[in-house]
Structure 1
Amino acid sequence: MEEVRVAIVGAGPSGLATSACLNIQSISNVVLEREDCCASLWKKRAYERLSLHLAKQFCSLPYKQHSSKTSTFMSKDTFISYVDSYVSELNITPRYSRCVVSALFDETKKKWRIEAKNEASGEMESYASDYLVVASGKNSEPFIPKVQGLESFKGEVIHSSDYKCGEPYRGKDVLVVGCGNSGMEISNDLTDYEARTTIVIRSPVS
């Protein structure tokens, strides 16, 4: 069993920032990430035209400001490059392909015991830590609600996390469910590719 001061679950921006702050203070830590890369939601499950909705001065991680040459509302690719350089410069060493299957607190030893499966080797790994930080995010699991008749629908049904660009839907009828940031931007993208787009939402908007 490996012992560290802090165990961090998730190598998204929050998990990476936590590790960076601990590294600066010379506090031992380990970052366990089930995917094979950091910031996987940005790298694997974001549409091509995505950009940050907040100005760059509000989107910096600790100890690293954005370049003065970076646009105010940066693209996802720019942000991904920033995160990759952040990992390198702040000496963060996530352990990828580690799926945490349990985390229990031992009242006797006053330690967290974390069990993680190494998806690359198939072996289980054990960690003991004084503190546990869960930074797995609230959007890590896509959700498609059960809609009556959906199972008999002959067209394609995808979650926004699987959408990349509107080219495959050019000239087609597309229904977008939801008017959050993703729904509105994807609808706009579809329109740019000449898809016939309709949005449905649960609540009235003014």
Structure 2
Amino acid sequence: MMLKRVAVIGAGAAGLCAARHILSRVNRFAPPVVYELTDKVGGTWCYDERVGTYPNGRPIHSSMYRDLRTNLPKEVMMFPDFPFDSSLNSFLPHHEVQRYLESYCQSHAIGPHIRAVDSVRPVVSADGEQSRTTWQMTSSDWSGRQETETFDAVFVCSGHYSHPHIPSIPGIDNFKGEVLHSHSYRYAEPYAGQTVVVLGAKASGLDISIELVKVGAKVTLSHRLPRITFPLPEGIQQSSPVVAVEDDGRLRFQDGSVSSADVLLLCTGYNFRYPFLDGRQLGLEIQDHVMTPLYRFLTPPAFPSLFFIGICKMVCPFPNFNVQVQFCMAVLDGSVTLPSRGEMEQEVRRELQEKLSRGVEHRHLHMMQLEQWDYCSSLASSGGFAPLPPVTRSLYEEVWRQRGVHPQKYRERNYRLVSDARWEELN
């Protein structure tokens, strides 16, 4: 039996997870080739104090800031079969997650299969039968030498935290201060004593605002979410969204008020960008926040040997990647038979329409949150592998509750998993 050849794009958490599972099935799969644009593993967890571009002109991928700590405990973040060092606190600085991923890579002997490249461009070739589609991956190394290889399947694991979403704000050129996206924020000290408007109040917006007031910045947290009711640190006030910049450089808010500021910091999320793929050729519509159709948020119905790992948002990431990868492996080894292209497209349309009918905004169609648990259980059931243990959901939801009550202190707690169904707090 011919071993299937699989390419993996990206050596972050999702790509390492894909490579680990491919390498574990030596009777069905050849060792993978993992394509990575940098000389490190870890993807978004690789902290780089620089911003902008590398000396070779490529954009700097990392969106990590210096003092970031995880907003999920390690007991929830871990790959189910690879725990973090038990001596560590539950909430970790980013360098500990990076160290964990390096250890995961070393433990599963993934390193020898990673190639440092500066461009990867899959080219689809098919003979009219879906099952015989192959993928030609053309890569060039740092010296410019090109190489083309053919694969049976491709896992796209390049993440979605490196291409900032910049909202259109009328009159933005009139703003006289500094405008930056959280992608380019590294630490708070340069903003000490300044007036900062932070646009966006999700995880990064709230965390960065708290960092800024600790160095004496005066922060306006501008957002369109329901008003935050838990206590915010002194120095943070809330406002409606910024909607325009006046001719004199002042910011105008949705409620009609205006205010001057030294800095406008955009915590407005990230866009899907796959410069190495031709979305139209693949039957995909790739927008800033939504990519469709993707059957089970994983594969384009027209090319079911191409898999996107980790595009779902508001999930428990590493466990989610682990489930997605195992389902895709089951598709590739024949354990799971996918519906026809038409049936998959119809199911995607039905699911997205159902979300829209519930009032979910179009740009939030990939957000899972509470839906992630049924989603992961469904993939596990279809793929015939073990589901996530109930303790993952239980602890995740407890931490989510604590974040809403104690946004500055919830990371002081530590936890321990007692069993697959029970956790306990240690302090």
Establish whether TM, by shorter chain, passes 0.5: yes
**1:187 counterpart = 2:247:** no
CA-to-aligned-CA distance 1:62-91 (integer Å, 9 cap, x gap): 642111102111111111111112212211
Question: Which AA in structure 2 matches 1:24?
Answer: S
**1:96 counterpart = 2:116:** yes
Give the aligned partner of residue 22 of structure 1.
22
| Counterpart contact for 1:101–1:117, Cα < 8 Å | no
| Counterpart contact for 2:124–2:133, Cα < 8 Å | no
Question: Which AA in structure 2 matches 1:13?
Answer: A
Separation in structure 2 between the aligned mates of residue 88 and residue 98 of structure 1, nearest angstrom: 23
| Counterpart contact for 2:134–2:150, Cα < 8 Å | yes
Q: Percent identity?
A: 31
| Counterpart contact for 2:22–2:32, Cα < 8 Å | yes
**1:150 counterpart = 2:172:** yes
80-89 or 92-101: which moved more? 92-101
Q: How many residues align?
A: 203
| Counterpart contact for 2:198–2:221, Cα < 8 Å | yes
Give the aligned partner of residue 64 of structure 1.
82
Give the aligned partner of residue 40 of structure 2.
37
Give the aligned partner of residue 116 of structure 1.
139
| Counterpart contact for 1:32–1:98, Cα < 8 Å | no
Separation in structure 2 between the aligned mates of residue 140 and residue 105 of structure 1, nearest angstrom: 29
Root-mean-square deviation over aligned CA pairs = 2.0
| Counterpart contact for 1:104–1:114, Cα < 8 Å | no
TM-fit CA distance, 1:163: 0.8
Higher strand share: 1
TM-fit CA distance, 1:125: 2.6
Question: Which AA in structure 1 matches 2:121?
Answer: V
Deviant stretches of 4+, over 6 Å: none
**Could you list the runs of 5+ residues in structure 1 that have no partner in the other structure?**
none
| Counterpart contact for 1:187–1:197, Cα < 8 Å | yes
Among 135, 140, 150, which residue is 2:162 paired with?
A: 140
Question: Which AA in structure 2 matches 1:170?
Answer: A
State the secondary structure of the residue aligned to 2:180: coil
CA-to-aligned-CA distance 1:169-194 (integer Å, 9 cap, x gap): 00011111101100000000001111
Question: Which AA in structure 1 matches 2:115?
Answer: R
TM-score (norm 1): 0.89
TM-score (norm 2): 0.45
TM-fit CA distance, 1:154: 2.3
| Counterpart contact for 1:113–1:127, Cα < 8 Å | yes
Task: Mark the structure with the bigger radius of gyration.
Answer: 2
Question: Which AA in structure 1 matches 2:184?
Answer: D
| Counterpart contact for 2:74–2:92, Cα < 8 Å | yes
**Could you list the runs of 5+ residues in structure 2 that have no partner in the other structure?**
47-61, 229-427
CA-to-aligned-CA distance 1:117-161 (integer Å, 9 cap, x gap): 33x122333121111111111223112122112223222211111
161-170 or 42-51: which moved more? 42-51
